[in-house]
């Protein structure tokens, strides 16, 4: 099989290209700036916000994995709309014209809007996205379903929860740094669904081997962890004893509010990310496929710590 991967030099794309090659697939890798991947494969520089890939890039491609997107929170609304929505639809149309069999769009659970309860959400539990990132992903989903539901090319929309693995950034990276510097044990409560990079990539490789027909939207979820549970796993991996929860909850609330103010985030954003519930039910995907997440945070924590501290 021949696969095209956009966003090939990103956190997920690098591992996916490596595993597709190891599985015997031919890989055409695209990234905004180009550059070599970990397995020596070179990616072609294509800025999807400006141009479409040359039609020859899609020659004999069986599956497109569209991972490219704007995710960082400081981007403006135009950037999100241009790449996450419009470029996605253009690439899907181009793939369909070229005779590609399957188009896989890596969306996000952020396309589902904010949770309204502590219950695990299924694919149909949709609220209006409140940020530009989630809204742009949701618009892309809707247009793909509207345009390709009855097309010959199958379209698979995947909504991963928080993905963790070596070289991860964001809150998880900050928790690792905090534990290293003696952060007190966080209060209990709250949990967030997460999925290991290896599990997500294994799913994508399965799709390359046997692409589903039709259009599907699936949540990709693994285990759920509280901030305290993540903290405890990190302490154990670093050879430390269990931390002491000497900082009262009100102080965590105050510190989170201060961080929100300093970074320009909405009030309570940081606190809810640390101690709120954000749970997702990945059962529909597991029932429709042979895939089942098997990696736990404990299995890869040493790799994660090592990559962050390099």
pLDDT by residue (tens digit) across 201-229? 999 999 999 999 999 999 999 999 999 99
pLDDT band at 49 (very low <50, low <70, confident <90, very high): confident
Residue among 243, 269, 245 at smallest CA distance from 256: 269
Are 289 and 206 a contacting pair, CB within 8 Å? Answer: yes
| pLDDT one-digit tens code per residue, 116-142 | 888 999 999 999 998 899 999 999 999
pLDDT score recorded for residue 254: 95
- pTM of the predicted protein model: 0.93
* Burial of 51 (C-beta count, 10 Å sphere; 0-12/13-18/19+): exposed
pLDDT score recorded for residue 308: 67
| Both tokens assigned to 25 | 């697939």
Where would I find the beta strands (DSSP E) of 127-188?
154-160, 162-164
pLDDT score recorded for residue 73: 62
pLDDT score recorded for residue 45: 87
pLDDT band at 74 (very low <50, low <70, confident <90, very high): low
| pLDDT one-digit tens code per residue, 136-184 | 999 999 999 999 999 999 999 999 999 998 877 777 888 888 888 899 9
Cα separation, 85 vs 245, in Å, equals: 44
Residue among 204, 178, 175, 205 at smallest CA distance from 297: 175
Are 208 and 3 a contacting pair, CB within 8 Å? Answer: yes
Give yes or no for residue 309 having a pLDDT over 80.
no
Across the range 288-297, mean pLDDT stands at 93
Q: What is the mean pLDDT of the chain?
A: 92
Give yes or no for residue 54 having a pLDDT over 90.
no
pLDDT score recorded for residue 53: 87
| pLDDT one-digit tens code per residue, 78-96 | 889 999 999 999 999 999 9
Q: Map residue 167 onto helix, strand or coil.
A: coil
Give yes or no for residue 249 having a pLDDT over 80.
yes
pLDDT score recorded for residue 266: 83
**Domains along the chain?**
2-165+195-220 (3.40.50.720)
């Amino acid at each position: 099989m021949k696969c095209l991967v956009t966003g090939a030099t990103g956190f997920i794309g690098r591992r996916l290209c490596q595993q597709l090659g190891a599985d015997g697939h031919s890989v055409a890798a695209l990234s905004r700036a180009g550059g070599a991947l970990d397995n020596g494969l070179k990616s072609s520089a294509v800025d999807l916000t400006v141009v479409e890939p040359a039609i020859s890039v899609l020659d004999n491609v069986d599956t497109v994995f569209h991972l490219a997107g704007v995710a960082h929170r400081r981007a403006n609304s135009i950037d999100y709309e241009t790449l996450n929505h419009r470029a996605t639809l253009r690439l899907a149309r181009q793939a369909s014209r070229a005779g590609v069999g399957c188009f896989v769009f890596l969306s996000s659970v952020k396309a589902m809007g904010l949770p309204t309860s502590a219950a695990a959400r299924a694919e149909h539990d949709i609220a209006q996205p409140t940020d530009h990132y989630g809204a742009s992903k949701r618009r892309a989903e809707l247009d793909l379903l509207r345009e390709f539901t009855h097309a010959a090319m199958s379209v698979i929309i995947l909504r991963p929860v928080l993905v963790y693995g070596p070289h991860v950034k964001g809150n998880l990276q900050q928790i690792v740094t905090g534990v290293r510097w003696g952060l007190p044990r966080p209060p209990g409560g709250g949990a967030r669904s997460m999925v290991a990079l290896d599990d997500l990539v294994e799913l994508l490789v399965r799709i390359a081997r046997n692409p589903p027909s039709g259009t599907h939207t699936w949540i990709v979820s693994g285990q759920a962890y509280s901030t305290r549970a993540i903290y405890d796993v990190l302490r154990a991996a670093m050879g430390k004893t269990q931390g002491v929860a000497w900082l009262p909850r009100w102080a965590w609330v105050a510190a989170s509010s201060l961080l929100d103010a300093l970074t320009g985030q909405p009030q309570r954003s940081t606190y809810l990310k640390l101690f709120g519930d954000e749970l997702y039910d990945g059962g529909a995907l597991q029932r429709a496929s042979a895939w089942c997440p098997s990696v736990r945070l404990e299995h890869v924590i040493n790799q994660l710590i090592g990559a962050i501290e390099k």
